[in-house]
Amino acid sequence: MSFDRKKKNKKRALVVAGVAAVAGIAALLYWPAGCSHQQATADGSSPPTHRSLAALAPQPRFAYAGTPHHRETASIADVAEMALPAVVNISSTRTVKQEASPFFNDPFFRHFFGGGLPHQGIPSERRQRSLGSGVIVSTDGVVLTNNHVVDHADTIKVTLSDRRELDAKVVGTDPQSDLAVLRLKGKPGDLHALELGNSARLRLGDVVLAIGDPFGVGETVTMGIVSAKGRANIGITDYEDFIQTDAAINPGNSGGALVDMQGRLVGINTAILSRTGGYQGIGFAIPSNMARPIMESLLKHGKVVRGYLGVAIQQLTPDLAHALGVKANAGVLISDVTRGTAADRAGVKRGDVVLSINGEKVETPGHLRNLVAASGVGAKVQLEILRHGSRLTKTAVLGEMPSKLARGGKIEEDRGPLGGLTLQGLDAAARHKFNVPEQVHGVVVAAVAPGSRAAYAGLRPGDVILEVNRKAVRSVDEFARLYKADGERTLLLVYRDGSTLYLLLQK
């Protein structure tokens, strides 16, 4: 045999060996799949002698609800089916007095219509009906809903998912957060309750379900995502920390459930932003972490007992931080401290910047107010503050919020162009006119001319300017001297409605 022929035979043998090896590997890979198929065969028949590539490819799987961190085996339909029995329809009625028209008492009107009208001039009453939703949160019949669903109700009817209709009574309401707690009468059995979840764990983009009874058509489930968290300054309630979602919320959804993909209650659907009254993609829900302590307080005390620090607060803007010499890009500015309160006893001072409470960073006044209120009376809170460039920690034991501050206790800042500045000294006449206490000293804003820089800063008639650039003023001349001595911006400390705030006056 020639050398070339031997070389070709050797090469052919290597190719055959290679093919045999590949075939052997393929057989090993095929065998487990064949066994699996054989085990799954119900009639005991032998597996097929070959399988297609399509059979070996990954098989389709159902899309299950859950997150990568908490993979669950329940589909969205499973979550809805689990949560629906805990969501109820609430129908409330109240008596509304309707004043009689003043025309009935007008002689000219009576001349044409005579005295034949039997109830002329007498106020009438009518029954007003309200529809909303609620969530059963305990198997003994506690229902969580919105305050505006049952506000001033004479009778409350609750319809369960199985169409049972039950009477309910109000345990307590909290208009400041728009929450209310009801209890079903008659101790009904076989109730399904939703577990309250931890709304702080929600992330933007998480899938949520909104369940309620929109327009009174019956239980309805809509799906969306968490669009934003911590929405405040919306103007819906005094205490706001809303979850924003694009799950469709319509009239009648108020008080219904916002549910996560583990079937837990993470919010109470409350309001929508809409120009038409219908769904336009922006809905708000009260987070469960805010609703839980309010519900517990209503069940225990019949009212909400909120923690009270005793400070006036405002947003720390970059301009205010620069004017105050504060090197911070986040935090809440203390503009006033009430004497004898928790903040005063803890050593908190005007001009301090609160960076965190109990280790949780605060960036807005609303967030700080919610944390303090939810902590409760007697709670010890650790305040991390910034003062003259140094970080300090103060421990405050919270008091109870006075009832007169439960509503409207915050300071509103005007951002629009309100107008100019006319000052006068604080004599007896000015104190009486603008209701300024004797212990307040400064110069009072007597008038505001439209379009001026002073008004753009937010000054109002009746404001008392206490300080200019951290220096006290007692007269108009002193104010003018300090104002002229400064640069482009003047930092003012202003007394308004029993509290103080900082304003920046541009020159």
d(Cα 170, Cα 100) in Å, to the nearest integer? Answer: 31
When pLDDT is averaged across residues 448-470 and rounded to a whole number, the result is: 82
DSSP designation for 489: E
Q: How open is the CA angle 464-469-471, to the nearest 5 degrees?
A: 70
pLDDT at 330: 82
Burial status of residue 252 (CB atoms within 10 A of its CB: 0-12, 13-18, 19 or more): buried
127 in a domain, yes or no? no
Percentages of the chain per state (helix, strand, coil), in multiples of 5:
25, 30, 40
The CA-based diameter of the chain, rounded to the nearest angstrom, is 139
End-of-domain residue from the set 301, 320, 351 = 301
CA terminus-to-terminus distance, the chain: 109
Pick the most confident of 115-119, 198-202, 337-341. Answer: 198-202
pLDDT digits (tens, 9 = 90+) for 468-492: 888 888 888 788 778 777 666 788 8
* Together in a domain, 281 and 331: no
273 in a domain, yes or no? yes
Task: Flag whether pLDDT at 334 surpasses 80.
Answer: yes
pLDDT at 210: 94
Name which of 134-148, 170-184, 200-214, 481-495 the model is least confident about: 481-495
Confidence of residue 417 (pLDDT cuts 50, 70, 90): very low
* Together in a domain, 430 and 486: yes
Structure tokens that stand for 60 in this block: 């389709």
End-of-domain residue from the set 248, 271, 301 = 301
CATH code at position 479: 2.30.42.10
When pLDDT is averaged across residues 262-278 and rounded to a whole number, the result is: 85
**Higher pLDDT pick, 245 / 20:** 245
Q: Which residue has the tokens 């103060």?
A: 394
Say if residues 473 and 482 touch (Cβ distance below 8 Å): yes
Confidence of residue 333 (pLDDT cuts 50, 70, 90): very high
Say if residues 246 and 204 touch (Cβ distance below 8 Å): no
Contacts (Cβ under 8 Å, ≥6 apart) of 107: none
142 in a domain, yes or no? no
Q: Are strands 489-496 and 464-468 parallel, antiparallel or unpaired?
A: antiparallel
Strands, E assignment, 398-436: 399-400, 422-425
Q: Which of 283, 225, 280, 293 is nearest to 256 (CA)?
A: 283
Task: Flag whether pLDDT at 317 surpasses 80.
Answer: yes
62 in a domain, yes or no? no
Say if residues 425 and 476 touch (Cβ distance below 8 Å): yes
Phi first, then psi, for residue 373 (nearest 5°) are -60, -40
Confidence of residue 389 (pLDDT cuts 50, 70, 90): confident
End-of-domain residue from the set 372, 405, 438 = 405
When pLDDT is averaged across residues 31-52 and rounded to a whole number, the result is: 38
Say if residues 420 and 458 touch (Cβ distance below 8 Å): no
φ/ψ region of 340 (left if φ > 0, alpha if ψ in -120 to 50, else beta) reads left
When pLDDT is averaged across residues 352-374 and rounded to a whole number, the result is: 90
Mean pLDDT of the chain: 78
Q: Which of 227, 142, 131 is nearest to 181 (CA)?
A: 142
CATH code at position 231: 2.40.10.10
Q: Which residue has the tokens 């206790």?
A: 409
pLDDT at 252: 82
The rounded radius of gyration (Å) of the Cα atoms in the chain is: 34
Q: Which residue has the tokens 């939810």?
A: 374
pLDDT at 403: 67
DSSP designation for 57: S
d(Cα 265, Cα 389) in Å, to the nearest integer? Answer: 43
Task: Flag whether pLDDT at 218 surpasses 90.
Answer: no
Instruction: Report the catalytic residues.
Output: 148, 178, 254
Considering its fold, how many domains does the chain have in total? 3
Residue range(s) defining the domain that contains residue 395:
307-405
Task: Flag whether pLDDT at 344 surpasses 80.
Answer: yes
pLDDT digits (tens, 9 = 90+) for 65-89: 444 444 445 689 999 999 999 999 9
* Together in a domain, 382 and 459: no
d(Cα 278, Cα 282) in Å, to the nearest integer? Answer: 10
Q: Which of 293, 314, 299 is nearest to 371 (CA)?
A: 293
* Together in a domain, 385 and 439: no
259 beta partners: 209, 265
Q: Which residue has the tokens 């998912």?
A: 161
